[in-house]
Amino acid sequence: MDTGVAEDTKKTRQAFYTPVAVAARVVELAEVSGHKVLEPSCGDGALVEECLAQGATEVVAQELDPETAANTRARFAARHSPVTVQEGDFLAAHPAPLFPRICANPPFTRGQDLKHLAHMLQFLAPGGICVCIMAPLSPSKPAFLKATAGYKVTVEDVPAGAFKESGTNIATVIVKIVK
pLDDT, tens only, 146-174? 999 999 999 999 987 666 665 556 788 99
Query: Which pLDDT belongs to residue 9?
Result: 44
> Within 10 Å of residue 45's Cβ, how many Cβ atoms?
26
Strand 83-87 vs strand 124-134: parallel, antiparallel, or unpaired?
A: unpaired
* 133 closest CA partner among 164, 173, 90: 173
Cβ-proximal residues to 103 (8 Å cutoff; 6+ apart), any chain: 26, 27, 30, 32, 37, 38, 39, 47, 50, 51, 130, 131, 132
pLDDT in tens, the chain (179 residues): 444 433 344 444 455 688 889 999 999 999 999 999 999 999 999 999 999 999 999 999 999 999 999 999 999 999 999 999 999 999 999 999 999 999 999 998 888 999 999 999 999 999 999 999 999 988 889 999 999 999 999 999 998 766 666 555 678 899 999 99
